[in-house]
């Protein structure tokens, strides 16, 4: 889990929207990034 939190820095420039930056990534890589992003959101929700 600590690895996932330490990878949060990679999401600073990730923009999810109509022109999502994940479009140009390989499918498996994009899914992994979205999985980690989901974990970050869950952790943030637990802190509130």
How confident is the model at residue 21, as a pLDDT?
Answer: 60
Give the range of the structural domain holding residue 7, as residue numbers without chain letter.
Answer: 2-47
* pLDDT at position 6: 45
Higher pLDDT, 30 or 46: 46
Give the C-alpha separation, 42 to 26, whole Å: 25
pTM passes above 0.85: no
Instruction: Please write the tens of the pLDDT for every residue from 2-43.
Output: 444 445 445 445 555 555 565 666 777 777 888 888 888 888
pLDDT the model gives residue 2: 42
Contact present, 33 and 14 (Cβ < 8 Å): yes
pLDDT score, position 32: 83
- Total domains in the chain come to 1
Q: Which of 48, 45, 47, 35 is nearest to 1 (CA)?
A: 35
Contacting residues for 22 by C-beta, under 8 A, at least 6 apart: 14, 16, 30, 33, 34
């Amino acid at each position: 889990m600590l690895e996932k939190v330490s990878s949060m820095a990679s999401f600073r420039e990730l923009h999810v929207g109509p022109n999502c930056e994940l479009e140009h990534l390989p499918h498996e890589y994009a899914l992994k990034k979205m999985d980690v992003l989901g974990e970050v959101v869950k952790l943030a929700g637990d802190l509130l």
